[in-house]
Structure 1
Amino acid sequence: MDSLLPAFPPVDDPYSFSELSEDSLSATWGALRTHALKWHPDADLDEQLRHWALTGTGDHDTAALVTVPSRAVDAADTLVRHGFSPLLVTAARLPGRGHDGGSTVKIRPLTHDDLDAAVELNVETTRYDSRFGMVTTRPSTPERLREHITEVLGRSEPCAWLAESEGEVVGFLYYDLPGHSDWIAGRTSVRPVAYLGLLGVREDARGGGIGAALADHAHDLLDEAGIGVTLLHHALPNPLSTPFWYSHGYRPLWTTWQRRPAR
Protein backbone atom coordinates (compact mmCIF):
# COMPACT_ATOMS: atom_id res chain seq x y z
CA MET A 1 0.00 0.00 0.00
CA ASP A 2 1.02 3.61 -0.51
CA SER A 3 2.77 5.22 2.48
CA LEU A 4 0.63 8.35 2.02
CA LEU A 5 -2.57 6.48 2.90
CA PRO A 6 -4.20 6.94 6.30
CA ALA A 7 -4.93 4.14 8.76
CA PHE A 8 -8.00 1.99 8.14
CA PRO A 9 -10.20 1.88 11.27
CA PRO A 10 -12.85 -0.83 11.59
CA VAL A 11 -16.05 -0.24 9.62
CA ASP A 12 -19.31 -1.21 11.33
CA ASP A 13 -21.59 -0.61 8.35
CA PRO A 14 -19.89 -0.25 4.95
CA TYR A 15 -23.05 0.84 3.13
CA SER A 16 -24.39 4.39 2.86
CA PHE A 17 -26.78 6.36 0.68
CA SER A 18 -26.99 10.10 -0.02
CA GLU A 19 -29.21 12.32 -2.15
CA LEU A 20 -28.47 15.82 -3.42
CA SER A 21 -30.54 18.70 -4.66
CA GLU A 22 -30.07 19.22 -8.39
CA ASP A 23 -29.48 22.89 -7.61
CA SER A 24 -26.43 22.27 -5.39
CA LEU A 25 -22.83 22.59 -6.55
CA SER A 26 -22.11 19.07 -5.32
CA ALA A 27 -24.64 17.77 -7.85
CA THR A 28 -22.21 18.80 -10.59
CA TRP A 29 -19.60 16.31 -9.40
CA GLY A 30 -21.71 13.17 -9.74
CA ALA A 31 -25.11 11.52 -9.63
CA LEU A 32 -27.89 12.99 -7.52
CA ARG A 33 -28.42 9.72 -5.66
CA THR A 34 -25.35 7.81 -4.55
CA HIS A 35 -24.91 4.43 -2.92
CA ALA A 36 -21.40 4.17 -1.46
CA LEU A 37 -19.51 1.16 -0.14
CA LYS A 38 -16.64 1.92 2.26
CA TRP A 39 -13.68 -0.29 1.39
CA HIS A 40 -11.59 -1.96 4.09
CA PRO A 41 -8.53 -4.17 3.53
CA ASP A 42 -9.86 -6.91 5.82
CA ALA A 43 -13.33 -7.11 4.27
CA ASP A 44 -14.47 -9.52 1.57
CA LEU A 45 -15.27 -7.04 -1.19
CA ASP A 46 -16.84 -9.63 -3.46
CA GLU A 47 -19.21 -10.69 -0.69
CA GLN A 48 -20.07 -7.08 0.13
CA LEU A 49 -20.88 -6.31 -3.49
CA ARG A 50 -23.10 -9.38 -3.78
CA HIS A 51 -25.17 -8.35 -0.75
CA TRP A 52 -25.41 -4.63 -1.53
CA ALA A 53 -29.04 -3.48 -1.56
CA LEU A 54 -29.15 -0.97 -4.41
CA THR A 55 -31.96 1.16 -5.83
CA GLY A 56 -32.46 3.15 -9.01
CA THR A 57 -32.77 0.49 -11.68
CA GLY A 58 -32.12 2.18 -15.02
CA ASP A 59 -31.82 5.65 -13.44
CA HIS A 60 -28.70 7.42 -14.71
CA ASP A 61 -28.81 9.79 -11.73
CA THR A 62 -28.42 6.92 -9.26
CA ALA A 63 -24.88 5.59 -8.95
CA ALA A 64 -22.98 3.04 -6.91
CA LEU A 65 -19.47 4.12 -5.84
CA VAL A 66 -16.55 2.30 -4.30
CA THR A 67 -13.31 4.16 -3.58
CA VAL A 68 -10.23 1.99 -3.05
CA PRO A 69 -6.50 2.62 -2.79
CA SER A 70 -5.14 2.86 -6.31
CA ARG A 71 -2.62 0.10 -5.57
CA ALA A 72 -5.31 -2.32 -4.32
CA VAL A 73 -5.16 -4.37 -7.50
CA ASP A 74 -7.15 -7.30 -6.11
CA ALA A 75 -10.04 -4.93 -5.44
CA ALA A 76 -9.79 -3.71 -9.03
CA ASP A 77 -10.23 -7.23 -10.37
CA THR A 78 -13.30 -7.76 -8.17
CA LEU A 79 -14.89 -4.45 -9.16
CA VAL A 80 -14.43 -5.10 -12.86
CA ARG A 81 -16.22 -8.43 -12.51
CA HIS A 82 -19.14 -6.61 -10.87
CA GLY A 83 -19.45 -4.14 -13.72
CA PHE A 84 -17.74 -1.11 -12.15
CA SER A 85 -15.51 1.31 -14.06
CA PRO A 86 -12.53 3.28 -12.66
CA LEU A 87 -13.45 6.89 -13.37
CA LEU A 88 -12.01 9.24 -10.74
CA VAL A 89 -8.59 9.43 -9.12
CA THR A 90 -7.49 11.25 -5.99
CA ALA A 91 -3.87 12.03 -6.82
CA ALA A 92 -1.15 13.25 -4.46
CA ARG A 93 1.97 15.37 -4.86
CA LEU A 94 4.74 15.75 -2.30
CA PRO A 95 6.79 18.98 -2.08
CA GLY A 96 9.45 19.51 -4.71
CA ARG A 97 8.04 17.05 -7.22
CA GLY A 98 7.38 17.69 -10.90
CA HIS A 99 8.50 21.19 -11.82
CA ASP A 100 8.43 22.13 -15.51
CA GLY A 101 9.80 25.66 -15.43
CA GLY A 102 9.77 26.16 -19.19
CA SER A 103 7.01 28.73 -19.65
CA THR A 104 7.13 32.51 -19.53
CA VAL A 105 3.36 33.03 -19.60
CA LYS A 106 2.13 35.77 -17.26
CA ILE A 107 0.49 34.52 -14.05
CA ARG A 108 -1.40 36.92 -11.78
CA PRO A 109 -3.93 36.73 -8.94
CA LEU A 110 -7.62 36.53 -9.75
CA THR A 111 -9.58 39.73 -9.06
CA HIS A 112 -13.29 40.46 -8.89
CA ASP A 113 -13.02 42.06 -12.34
CA ASP A 114 -11.99 38.65 -13.71
CA LEU A 115 -14.99 36.78 -12.34
CA ASP A 116 -16.79 36.31 -15.67
CA ALA A 117 -13.68 34.96 -17.38
CA ALA A 118 -12.93 32.62 -14.47
CA VAL A 119 -16.46 31.24 -14.42
CA GLU A 120 -16.39 30.71 -18.18
CA LEU A 121 -13.15 28.73 -17.92
CA ASN A 122 -14.45 26.67 -15.01
CA VAL A 123 -17.67 25.84 -16.86
CA GLU A 124 -15.71 24.93 -20.00
CA THR A 125 -13.50 22.57 -17.99
CA THR A 126 -16.50 21.04 -16.25
CA ARG A 127 -18.28 20.41 -19.54
CA TYR A 128 -15.20 18.70 -20.92
CA ASP A 129 -14.90 16.48 -17.84
CA SER A 130 -18.58 15.55 -18.07
CA ARG A 131 -17.70 13.29 -21.02
CA PHE A 132 -15.93 10.85 -18.71
CA GLY A 133 -18.74 9.51 -16.57
CA MET A 134 -18.58 11.28 -13.19
CA VAL A 135 -19.08 15.02 -13.63
CA THR A 136 -22.62 16.05 -14.62
CA THR A 137 -23.14 19.60 -15.84
CA ARG A 138 -26.46 20.86 -14.46
CA PRO A 139 -28.53 23.92 -15.42
CA SER A 140 -27.43 25.47 -12.11
CA THR A 141 -23.72 24.67 -12.56
CA PRO A 142 -22.59 28.09 -13.91
CA GLU A 143 -24.28 30.00 -11.08
CA ARG A 144 -23.03 27.62 -8.38
CA LEU A 145 -19.49 27.88 -9.75
CA ARG A 146 -19.76 31.68 -9.75
CA GLU A 147 -20.76 31.57 -6.08
CA HIS A 148 -17.88 29.25 -5.25
CA ILE A 149 -15.27 31.34 -7.06
CA THR A 150 -16.62 34.46 -5.36
CA GLU A 151 -16.11 32.72 -2.01
CA VAL A 152 -12.55 31.77 -3.01
CA LEU A 153 -11.87 35.42 -3.86
CA GLY A 154 -12.92 36.43 -0.36
CA ARG A 155 -10.35 34.30 1.43
CA SER A 156 -7.58 35.90 3.45
CA GLU A 157 -4.76 34.51 1.28
CA PRO A 158 -4.71 34.56 -2.54
CA CYS A 159 -5.37 31.06 -3.84
CA ALA A 160 -6.78 31.69 -7.33
CA TRP A 161 -4.57 32.54 -10.29
CA LEU A 162 -5.00 33.47 -13.93
CA ALA A 163 -2.74 32.95 -16.93
CA GLU A 164 -2.67 35.71 -19.54
CA SER A 165 -1.52 35.68 -23.14
CA GLU A 166 -1.53 38.88 -25.20
CA GLY A 167 -3.79 40.48 -22.61
CA GLU A 168 -6.41 37.72 -22.67
CA VAL A 169 -7.23 35.29 -19.88
CA VAL A 170 -6.37 31.80 -21.14
CA GLY A 171 -6.04 29.75 -17.95
CA PHE A 172 -7.37 29.56 -14.40
CA LEU A 173 -6.31 27.66 -11.28
CA TYR A 174 -7.42 27.67 -7.67
CA TYR A 175 -6.62 25.65 -4.59
CA ASP A 176 -7.79 25.17 -1.01
CA LEU A 177 -5.34 25.76 1.83
CA PRO A 178 -5.64 24.11 5.27
CA GLY A 179 -8.88 25.19 6.87
CA HIS A 180 -10.63 24.92 3.52
CA SER A 181 -9.12 21.54 2.61
CA ASP A 182 -10.16 19.73 5.80
CA TRP A 183 -12.94 17.89 3.94
CA ILE A 184 -10.36 15.80 2.05
CA ALA A 185 -7.51 15.68 4.57
CA GLY A 186 -8.66 12.30 5.87
CA ARG A 187 -7.60 10.72 2.58
CA THR A 188 -3.93 10.88 3.60
CA SER A 189 -1.69 10.49 6.62
CA VAL A 190 0.38 13.55 5.68
CA ARG A 191 -0.23 17.05 7.06
CA PRO A 192 -0.81 19.84 6.22
CA VAL A 193 -2.98 19.19 3.17
CA ALA A 194 -3.85 21.46 0.25
CA TYR A 195 -6.40 20.64 -2.43
CA LEU A 196 -6.04 21.81 -6.02
CA GLY A 197 -9.64 22.35 -7.09
CA LEU A 198 -9.26 23.39 -10.72
CA LEU A 199 -6.81 23.92 -13.51
CA GLY A 200 -8.49 24.92 -16.75
CA VAL A 201 -6.98 26.21 -19.99
CA ARG A 202 -9.03 27.69 -22.80
CA GLU A 203 -9.46 25.10 -25.54
CA ASP A 204 -7.81 27.19 -28.26
CA ALA A 205 -4.79 27.85 -26.01
CA ARG A 206 -3.98 24.29 -24.96
CA GLY A 207 -0.62 22.75 -25.76
CA GLY A 208 1.41 25.92 -25.25
CA GLY A 209 2.63 25.40 -21.69
CA ILE A 210 -0.08 27.48 -20.01
CA GLY A 211 -1.29 24.68 -17.76
CA ALA A 212 2.30 23.85 -16.83
CA ALA A 213 2.97 27.48 -15.92
CA LEU A 214 -0.09 27.62 -13.68
CA ALA A 215 0.79 24.32 -12.02
CA ASP A 216 4.40 25.40 -11.44
CA HIS A 217 3.25 28.69 -9.94
CA ALA A 218 0.82 26.99 -7.58
CA HIS A 219 3.29 24.29 -6.57
CA ASP A 220 5.99 26.86 -5.80
CA LEU A 221 3.59 28.75 -3.52
CA LEU A 222 2.34 25.60 -1.81
CA ASP A 223 5.88 24.33 -1.24
CA GLU A 224 6.92 27.70 0.20
CA ALA A 225 3.89 27.59 2.52
CA GLY A 226 5.07 24.27 3.97
CA ILE A 227 2.24 22.15 2.56
CA GLY A 228 2.99 18.49 3.24
CA VAL A 229 0.92 17.06 0.40
CA THR A 230 -1.30 18.46 -2.34
CA LEU A 231 -4.31 16.42 -3.42
CA LEU A 232 -6.53 16.78 -6.46
CA HIS A 233 -9.18 14.87 -8.36
CA HIS A 234 -8.96 14.06 -12.04
CA ALA A 235 -11.03 11.95 -14.41
CA LEU A 236 -9.03 8.82 -15.11
CA PRO A 237 -10.28 8.47 -18.74
CA ASN A 238 -9.42 12.12 -19.50
CA PRO A 239 -6.62 11.96 -22.11
CA LEU A 240 -5.39 15.44 -21.17
CA SER A 241 -5.44 15.60 -17.38
CA THR A 242 -4.17 12.10 -16.60
CA PRO A 243 -0.74 12.38 -18.29
CA PHE A 244 -0.48 16.06 -17.37
CA TRP A 245 -0.76 15.59 -13.61
CA TYR A 246 1.59 12.62 -13.46
CA SER A 247 4.21 14.57 -15.39
CA HIS A 248 3.91 17.24 -12.69
CA GLY A 249 4.78 15.05 -9.74
CA TYR A 250 1.43 13.51 -8.79
CA ARG A 251 0.71 9.85 -8.25
CA PRO A 252 -2.62 8.02 -7.91
CA LEU A 253 -3.60 7.50 -4.28
CA TRP A 254 -7.29 6.52 -4.42
CA THR A 255 -9.44 5.39 -7.33
CA THR A 256 -13.21 5.76 -7.35
CA TRP A 257 -15.08 3.04 -9.23
CA GLN A 258 -18.60 3.73 -10.40
CA ARG A 259 -21.56 1.81 -11.75
CA ARG A 260 -24.16 4.20 -13.17
CA PRO A 261 -27.02 3.39 -13.12
CA ALA A 262 -26.35 1.62 -9.85
CA ARG A 263 -28.29 -1.44 -11.03
Structure 2
Amino acid sequence: MTAALLRAQSTRFAGLDPLLPAAVEPPPGDLLTAALPDGERVSAVLTRTLIEPGTPQSLWSASEVFELHPLLGAADGGALDPLLRALPGRLTAAGTDTACVVTWPSRDAAAARALMTHGFIPLSVLAVRTTPPPPSDPVPGVVVRRATRADLDVLVESALAEVAYSAQVGGAIPRSDARAVKRAALRAHLTQGDPIWLAERDGVAVGHAEGWHTESRPGSWAETRVRHGRWGYVNCLSVLPHARHAGVGRALMDVAHADLSPRTVGSFLYYNPPNPLSPAFWARQGYRPLWTVWEVRPAAALR
Protein backbone atom coordinates (compact mmCIF):
# COMPACT_ATOMS: atom_id res chain seq x y z
CA MET A 1 0.00 0.00 0.00
CA THR A 2 2.85 2.38 0.80
CA ALA A 3 4.29 2.23 -2.73
CA ALA A 4 0.91 3.00 -4.31
CA LEU A 5 0.31 5.91 -1.94
CA LEU A 6 3.80 7.31 -2.67
CA ARG A 7 3.21 7.21 -6.43
CA ALA A 8 -0.18 8.85 -6.13
CA GLN A 9 1.11 11.44 -3.69
CA SER A 10 4.03 12.30 -5.99
CA THR A 11 1.60 12.80 -8.89
CA ARG A 12 -0.63 15.04 -6.79
CA PHE A 13 2.33 17.04 -5.49
CA ALA A 14 3.53 17.64 -9.06
CA GLY A 15 0.14 19.05 -9.99
CA LEU A 16 -0.07 21.11 -6.83
CA ASP A 17 3.34 22.78 -7.11
CA PRO A 18 5.91 22.00 -9.83
CA LEU A 19 8.81 22.75 -7.45
CA LEU A 20 7.87 20.01 -4.99
CA PRO A 21 10.08 16.90 -5.05
CA ALA A 22 8.64 13.42 -5.39
CA ALA A 23 7.30 11.88 -2.20
CA VAL A 24 9.76 9.54 -0.48
CA GLU A 25 9.41 6.63 1.90
CA PRO A 26 8.81 7.94 5.44
CA PRO A 27 11.30 7.04 8.16
CA PRO A 28 10.64 4.13 10.51
CA GLY A 29 8.08 4.83 13.19
CA ASP A 30 4.59 4.13 14.50
CA LEU A 31 2.15 3.45 11.64
CA LEU A 32 -1.31 5.07 11.65
CA THR A 33 -4.08 4.29 9.14
CA ALA A 34 -7.51 5.77 8.57
CA ALA A 35 -10.43 5.38 6.19
CA LEU A 36 -11.88 8.30 4.21
CA PRO A 37 -15.63 8.70 3.59
CA ASP A 38 -15.25 7.25 0.08
CA GLY A 39 -13.60 4.11 1.45
CA GLU A 40 -10.04 5.02 0.43
CA ARG A 41 -7.39 4.47 3.06
CA VAL A 42 -4.62 6.84 4.03
CA SER A 43 -1.72 6.36 6.39
CA ALA A 44 1.05 8.16 8.23
CA VAL A 45 4.17 7.35 10.19
CA LEU A 46 4.71 8.99 13.59
CA THR A 47 8.31 9.47 14.69
CA ARG A 48 9.74 10.62 18.01
CA THR A 49 12.99 12.57 18.19
CA LEU A 50 14.90 13.77 21.26
CA ILE A 51 16.92 16.91 20.57
CA GLU A 52 20.30 16.91 22.26
CA PRO A 53 20.90 19.85 24.63
CA GLY A 54 23.61 22.20 23.47
CA THR A 55 23.02 21.62 19.75
CA PRO A 56 22.02 24.35 17.28
CA GLN A 57 18.69 22.60 16.73
CA SER A 58 17.84 23.01 20.42
CA LEU A 59 17.52 26.79 19.87
CA TRP A 60 14.56 26.41 17.51
CA SER A 61 13.05 23.06 18.43
CA ALA A 62 11.34 21.58 21.46
CA SER A 63 13.42 18.95 23.23
CA GLU A 64 10.98 16.15 22.39
CA VAL A 65 9.41 16.20 18.94
CA PHE A 66 6.69 13.96 17.55
CA GLU A 67 6.49 14.32 13.77
CA LEU A 68 3.73 12.97 11.55
CA HIS A 69 4.73 11.93 8.01
CA PRO A 70 1.45 11.60 6.08
CA LEU A 71 0.85 9.37 3.05
CA LEU A 72 -2.41 10.62 1.55
CA GLY A 73 -1.99 9.35 -1.98
CA ALA A 74 -4.18 11.31 -4.38
CA ALA A 75 -6.30 12.82 -1.60
CA ASP A 76 -6.01 16.49 -0.71
CA GLY A 77 -4.83 17.83 2.63
CA GLY A 78 -8.28 17.52 4.13
CA ALA A 79 -7.59 13.80 4.42
CA LEU A 80 -5.24 14.66 7.28
CA ASP A 81 -8.24 15.03 9.58
CA PRO A 82 -8.90 11.35 10.42
CA LEU A 83 -5.18 10.78 10.97
CA LEU A 84 -4.97 13.79 13.28
CA ARG A 85 -8.01 12.60 15.21
CA ALA A 86 -6.20 9.32 15.88
CA LEU A 87 -2.99 11.05 16.91
CA PRO A 88 -3.55 12.11 20.56
CA GLY A 89 -3.76 8.52 21.73
CA ARG A 90 -0.36 7.80 20.22
CA LEU A 91 1.53 10.62 21.94
CA THR A 92 3.44 9.92 25.13
CA ALA A 93 4.84 13.44 25.56
CA ALA A 94 4.75 15.10 28.95
CA GLY A 95 5.83 18.57 29.97
CA THR A 96 6.03 21.88 28.14
CA ASP A 97 9.24 21.34 26.14
CA THR A 98 7.51 19.09 23.62
CA ALA A 99 5.99 19.52 20.18
CA CYS A 100 3.99 17.74 17.50
CA VAL A 101 4.93 18.68 13.93
CA VAL A 102 3.52 18.16 10.43
CA THR A 103 5.31 19.45 7.33
CA TRP A 104 3.00 19.78 4.32
CA PRO A 105 3.00 21.58 0.93
CA SER A 106 2.14 25.25 1.39
CA ARG A 107 -0.18 25.33 -1.63
CA ASP A 108 -2.42 22.55 -0.30
CA ALA A 109 -4.92 24.93 1.28
CA ALA A 110 -7.26 22.08 2.20
CA ALA A 111 -4.73 20.94 4.79
CA ALA A 112 -4.85 24.23 6.68
CA ARG A 113 -8.37 23.76 8.00
CA ALA A 114 -7.68 20.25 9.26
CA LEU A 115 -4.45 21.29 10.94
CA MET A 116 -5.85 24.40 12.61
CA THR A 117 -8.87 22.45 13.84
CA HIS A 118 -6.49 20.23 15.76
CA GLY A 119 -4.49 23.10 17.25
CA PHE A 120 -1.58 23.39 14.83
CA ILE A 121 -0.14 26.77 13.88
CA PRO A 122 2.21 27.54 10.96
CA LEU A 123 5.46 28.29 12.80
CA SER A 124 7.89 27.87 9.92
CA VAL A 125 7.99 27.93 6.13
CA LEU A 126 10.55 26.46 3.76
CA ALA A 127 10.73 28.95 0.91
CA VAL A 128 12.47 28.75 -2.47
CA ARG A 129 13.77 31.65 -4.52
CA THR A 130 11.91 31.89 -7.81
CA THR A 131 12.05 35.56 -8.84
CA PRO A 132 15.28 37.35 -7.91
CA PRO A 133 14.74 41.10 -7.47
CA PRO A 134 16.31 43.62 -9.86
CA PRO A 135 19.75 44.97 -8.95
CA SER A 136 19.63 47.52 -6.16
CA ASP A 137 21.78 50.52 -5.33
CA PRO A 138 24.47 50.13 -2.67
CA VAL A 139 23.41 51.04 0.87
CA PRO A 140 25.34 54.17 1.87
CA GLY A 141 28.03 53.50 4.44
CA VAL A 142 27.46 49.71 4.51
CA VAL A 143 30.20 47.29 3.46
CA VAL A 144 29.68 43.51 3.33
CA ARG A 145 32.65 41.17 3.50
CA ARG A 146 33.41 37.55 4.33
CA ALA A 147 33.83 37.05 8.05
CA THR A 148 36.96 35.52 9.55
CA ARG A 149 37.73 33.87 12.88
CA ALA A 150 38.73 37.28 14.22
CA ASP A 151 35.08 38.34 13.87
CA LEU A 152 33.71 35.58 16.09
CA ASP A 153 32.73 37.83 19.00
CA VAL A 154 30.69 40.26 16.88
CA LEU A 155 29.11 37.35 14.98
CA VAL A 156 27.92 35.84 18.26
CA GLU A 157 26.29 39.12 19.28
CA SER A 158 24.54 39.37 15.93
CA ALA A 159 23.33 35.77 16.13
CA LEU A 160 21.95 36.27 19.64
CA ALA A 161 20.04 39.34 18.47
CA GLU A 162 18.27 37.15 15.91
CA VAL A 163 17.47 34.51 18.54
CA ALA A 164 16.06 37.13 20.90
CA TYR A 165 13.79 38.60 18.25
CA SER A 166 12.63 35.22 16.91
CA ALA A 167 11.85 33.94 20.39
CA GLN A 168 9.13 36.60 20.71
CA VAL A 169 7.18 35.05 17.82
CA GLY A 170 7.82 31.33 18.27
CA GLY A 171 10.68 30.96 15.82
CA ALA A 172 13.29 30.29 18.50
CA ILE A 173 13.30 28.86 22.00
CA PRO A 174 15.23 30.76 24.69
CA ARG A 175 17.88 28.51 26.19
CA SER A 176 20.30 29.39 28.96
CA ASP A 177 23.21 28.09 26.88
CA ALA A 178 22.30 30.01 23.70
CA ARG A 179 25.52 32.04 23.71
CA ALA A 180 27.73 28.97 24.00
CA VAL A 181 25.71 27.11 21.36
CA LYS A 182 25.92 29.97 18.88
CA ARG A 183 29.63 30.49 19.51
CA ALA A 184 30.40 26.82 18.93
CA ALA A 185 28.28 26.67 15.77
CA LEU A 186 29.76 29.83 14.28
CA ARG A 187 33.29 28.70 15.10
CA ALA A 188 32.62 25.37 13.38
CA HIS A 189 31.26 27.05 10.23
CA LEU A 190 34.25 29.40 10.04
CA THR A 191 36.66 26.50 10.56
CA GLN A 192 35.18 24.39 7.79
CA GLY A 193 34.99 27.29 5.37
CA ASP A 194 31.24 27.81 5.19
CA PRO A 195 30.58 31.37 4.06
CA ILE A 196 29.53 33.90 6.68
CA TRP A 197 29.03 37.47 5.55
CA LEU A 198 29.51 40.40 7.92
CA ALA A 199 27.92 43.80 7.35
CA GLU A 200 29.71 46.86 8.70
CA ARG A 201 28.48 50.43 8.73
CA ASP A 202 31.23 53.00 9.04
CA GLY A 203 33.50 50.18 10.20
CA VAL A 204 31.17 48.87 12.95
CA ALA A 205 29.50 45.44 12.67
CA VAL A 206 25.71 45.72 12.25
CA GLY A 207 24.65 42.26 11.08
CA HIS A 208 25.58 39.01 9.40
CA ALA A 209 24.28 36.20 7.22
CA GLU A 210 25.20 32.51 7.09
CA GLY A 211 24.80 29.98 4.32
CA TRP A 212 26.28 27.02 2.51
CA HIS A 213 25.67 24.64 -0.34
CA THR A 214 23.76 21.39 0.08
CA GLU A 215 23.08 18.48 -2.27
CA SER A 216 19.61 17.05 -2.65
CA ARG A 217 20.20 13.46 -3.66
CA PRO A 218 18.67 10.05 -2.88
CA GLY A 219 18.79 9.39 0.85
CA SER A 220 19.68 12.97 1.85
CA TRP A 221 17.60 15.12 4.19
CA ALA A 222 17.22 17.72 1.41
CA GLU A 223 15.61 15.16 -0.92
CA THR A 224 12.42 15.32 1.14
CA ARG A 225 12.16 19.10 0.64
CA VAL A 226 13.65 20.16 -2.72
CA ARG A 227 14.29 18.57 -6.09
CA HIS A 228 17.58 16.83 -6.74
CA GLY A 229 20.58 19.05 -7.39
CA ARG A 230 23.00 21.45 -5.74
CA TRP A 231 21.29 24.21 -3.77
CA GLY A 232 22.31 27.32 -1.91
CA TYR A 233 20.95 27.33 1.64
CA VAL A 234 20.54 30.49 3.73
CA ASN A 235 20.82 29.49 7.36
CA CYS A 236 20.57 32.80 9.18
CA LEU A 237 20.18 36.52 8.56
CA SER A 238 20.49 38.94 11.47
CA VAL A 239 20.65 42.72 11.73
CA LEU A 240 21.29 44.39 15.08
CA PRO A 241 18.26 46.24 16.47
CA HIS A 242 19.62 49.77 16.03
CA ALA A 243 20.50 49.10 12.37
CA ARG A 244 17.21 47.57 11.16
CA HIS A 245 15.00 49.09 8.45
CA ALA A 246 18.00 50.76 6.78
CA GLY A 247 18.85 48.31 3.99
CA VAL A 248 21.48 46.27 5.86
CA GLY A 249 19.64 42.98 5.35
CA ARG A 250 19.25 43.68 1.63
CA ALA A 251 22.96 44.52 1.33
CA LEU A 252 23.88 41.26 3.08
CA MET A 253 21.65 39.17 0.86
CA ASP A 254 22.87 40.84 -2.35
CA VAL A 255 26.34 39.54 -1.55
CA ALA A 256 25.19 36.20 -0.12
CA HIS A 257 23.06 35.34 -3.14
CA ALA A 258 25.87 36.28 -5.52
CA ASP A 259 28.20 33.92 -3.66
CA LEU A 260 25.70 31.05 -3.34
CA SER A 261 24.12 31.14 -6.80
CA PRO A 262 26.83 29.87 -9.20
CA ARG A 263 26.33 26.27 -10.33
CA THR A 264 23.16 25.73 -8.29
CA VAL A 265 19.57 24.92 -9.20
CA GLY A 266 18.32 27.54 -6.74
CA SER A 267 18.36 28.62 -3.12
CA PHE A 268 16.07 27.97 -0.19
CA LEU A 269 15.67 28.86 3.46
CA TYR A 270 13.33 28.69 6.43
CA TYR A 271 11.51 31.67 7.86
CA ASN A 272 8.96 32.22 10.61
CA PRO A 273 5.53 33.41 9.33
CA PRO A 274 4.51 35.07 12.64
CA ASN A 275 7.68 37.18 12.50
CA PRO A 276 6.50 40.64 11.34
CA LEU A 277 9.73 41.25 9.42
CA SER A 278 10.47 37.95 7.69
CA PRO A 279 7.60 37.24 5.25
CA ALA A 280 7.70 40.65 3.56
CA PHE A 281 11.50 40.77 3.46
CA TRP A 282 11.92 37.34 1.92
CA ALA A 283 9.13 37.94 -0.58
CA ARG A 284 11.05 41.02 -1.78
CA GLN A 285 14.10 38.80 -2.09
CA GLY A 286 12.18 36.55 -4.48
CA TYR A 287 11.26 33.69 -2.14
CA ARG A 288 7.88 32.02 -1.92
CA PRO A 289 6.60 29.23 0.36
CA LEU A 290 7.07 25.62 -0.71
CA TRP A 291 6.46 23.73 2.55
CA THR A 292 4.75 24.87 5.73
CA VAL A 293 5.80 23.41 9.07
CA TRP A 294 2.75 23.19 11.32
CA GLU A 295 3.38 22.75 15.02
CA VAL A 296 1.65 22.27 18.35
CA ARG A 297 3.62 23.26 21.47
CA PRO A 298 3.40 21.54 23.87
CA ALA A 299 2.39 18.28 22.22
CA ALA A 300 -0.32 17.74 24.84
CA ALA A 301 -2.18 20.78 23.42
CA LEU A 302 -3.08 18.74 20.33
CA ARG A 303 -6.86 18.63 19.93
Does 2:55 correspond to 1:24? Answer: yes
- Indicate the residue corresponding to 1:118 in structure 2: 155
- Indicate the residue corresponding to 1:34 in structure 2: 65
Q: Which structure is richer in relative contact order (CA contacts within 8 A, separation 6 or more)?
A: 1
Are the equivalent residues in 2 in contact too, given 1:92–1:230 (CA < 8 A)? yes
Are the equivalent residues in 2 in contact too, given 1:70–1:254 (CA < 8 A)? yes
Matches within 5 A, 1:29-108: 29-42=60-73, 44-52=79-87, 53-57=90-94, 59-94=95-130, 97-104=132-139, 105-108=142-145
- Indicate the residue corresponding to 1:151 in structure 2: 188
Q: Percent identity?
A: 34
Moved more, 24-33 or 185-194: 185-194
* Letter of the structure 2 residue corresponding to residue 198 of structure 1: C
In the alignment, structure 2 segments of 5+ residues that lack a partner are: 1-15, 32-44
User: Which of 171, 178, 201 is 1:165 aligned to?
Assistant: 201
Does 2:278 correspond to 1:241? Answer: yes
User: Which of 137, 151, 156 is 2:174 aligned to?
Assistant: 137
Are the equivalent residues in 2 in contact too, given 1:85–1:258 (CA < 8 A)? yes
- In structure 1, distance between residues paired with 2:167 and 2:111: 26
Moved more, 248-257 or 12-21: 12-21
Moved more, 178-187 or 22-31: 178-187
Kindly provide the CA deviation profile for residues 80-123 of structure 1, in whole angstroms up to 9, marking residues without a partner as x: 111111110011114x6124522332111101111000011101
* Letter of the structure 2 residue corresponding to residue 209 of structure 1: G
- In structure 2, distance between residues paired with 1:137 and 1:68: 26
* Letter of the structure 2 residue corresponding to residue 151 of structure 1: A
Q: Secondary structure at the match of 1:5?
A: coil
Q: Secondary structure at the match of 1:192?
A: strand
Q: Secondary structure at the match of 1:15?
A: strand
Kindly provide the CA deviation profile for residues 138-177 of structure 1, in whole angstroms up to 9, marking residues without a partner as x: 1122111111111111234x51111110110001001021
Matches within 5 A, 1:164-243: 164-178=200-214, 183-223=221-261, 225-243=262-280
- Indicate the residue corresponding to 1:3 in structure 2: 18
1:41 to partner: Cα distance: 3.8
Are the equivalent residues in 1 in contact too, given 2:51–2:61 (CA < 8 A)? no
Q: Choose 1 or 2 for highest CA Rg.
A: 2
Q: Secondary structure at the match of 2:58?
A: helix
For the aligned residue pairs, the C-alpha RMSD in angstroms reads: 2.0
TM, length-normalised to structure 1? 0.92
TM, length-normalised to structure 2? 0.80
1:239 to partner: Cα distance: 0.6
Q: Secondary structure at the match of 1:138?
A: coil
* Letter of the structure 2 residue corresponding to residue 120 of structure 1: E
Kindly provide the CA deviation profile for residues 172-196 of structure 1, in whole angstroms up to 9, marking residues without a partner as x: 0010213699643531114211210
- Indicate the residue corresponding to 1:257 in structure 2: 294
* Letter of the structure 1 residue corresponding to residue 81 of structure 2: D
